[in-house]
Structure 1
């Protein structure tokens, strides 16, 4: 574990500025239920969700980063580009935003005015850019499972990437047992998730 000094406008909000973006907004499609965060990183709070196969306005992406500024259902924030696709060449062919052509989207800058210290694990969520892959989300867990997970909170781990069904946890992340239940749980990027122990893949995100 290493300490990373993180910048944010407040503990729960962030500010982005679009650079040279006149009429540059385009629609992108989420390939998983995708968090919108208040800032460009997994440590920022979740302020909304783009549902799988829903379209969202993408305003640009931060240079050297996989985080992009989006607007969805009246919410402005940041989403992880591995799980967004867009028709950059026109027509019906969608390309993962992370793999977009050069200069396909304008750069956005991020401005922060205060600092937060957060523990960060060196590692990343191993995701599939088309999201679910071979892992299907399970049905909503029983009420007693949700209650157990929410009552027995554990220190969150922070990983590069985003919390989506099908993403796998690195071996460095400890998962916890749930009594009389097949799946394990852990808090990743401050969000509780259920994990298939054999594959270490996320099968459910508790929102």
Structure 2
């Protein structure tokens, strides 16, 4: 029977440590589910451009959240970006919980963000899209509506949170009527949306 040399033993041990570290790192990765079609942005805020979309029910890798913020860094299909924690859910002992409500219990890592380049500034205390998100009847606007919105642009409004179906606009946000159509429109966080006048809920998002 051959005896392993000390050099070979050290090599095998080192490989074992590397493998164990890899397993530990993989096990530490957290997953989160998008509870609605959710924008993933280049930075932690509604003023940053959209880099990906997490479809409703899809799973993302949750890399961590900023301390004292509702923005979390996620990875969707290999694209790393930032998503709003109110619309991310995770499993906790067999129950589905919202990330923003159970961060401490879930042990979500804390991450930081350092801004680079120029971005669109938001107000010091921006208004927030009101939740929780409610189910809304899906609508399919005619092409003429999209053409009208493009031909009649409005100044963008930046609201804390994210543009999702069912979210409600604050009463102070002005919306624009569309001729011969039941819905109104406004540009929120860089995206044109259709709004139901009676409830002020977002019923369609132009992506």
Shorter-chain TM band: 0.7 to 0.9
Counterpart selection for 2:71 from 67, 73, 88: 67
If asked which structure has higher relative contact order (CA below 8 Å, sep 6+), I would say 1
Work out the number of aligned pairs and report it: 181
Q: What's 1:100 paired with?
A: 102
Counterpart contact for 1:166–1:202, Cα < 8 Å: yes
Task: Mark the CA change 1:137 to 1:111 in structure 2 (over 3 Å): closer, same or farther.
Answer: farther
Higher share of residues assigned strand: 1
Q: What's 1:44 paired with?
A: 48
Higher share of residues assigned helix: 2
Q: What's 1:171 paired with?
A: 171
Alpha-carbon distance between aligned partners in 2 of 1:105 and 1:186, rounded to the nearest angstrom: 35
Larger gyration radius, structure 1 or structure 2: 2
Shift of 1:53: 1.0
Q: What's 1:151 paired with?
A: 151
Counterpart contact for 1:137–1:165, Cα < 8 Å: no
Shift of 1:40: 0.2
SS in 2 for 1:118: coil
| Dislocated runs of 4+, deviation >6 Å | none
Shift of 1:140: 2.0
Shift of 1:137: 4.2
Q: CA RMSD in A?
A: 1.8
Counterpart selection for 1:113 from 113, 116, 121: 116
Taking structure 2 as the reference length, the TM-score comes to 0.82
Gaps of 5+ in 2: 1-23
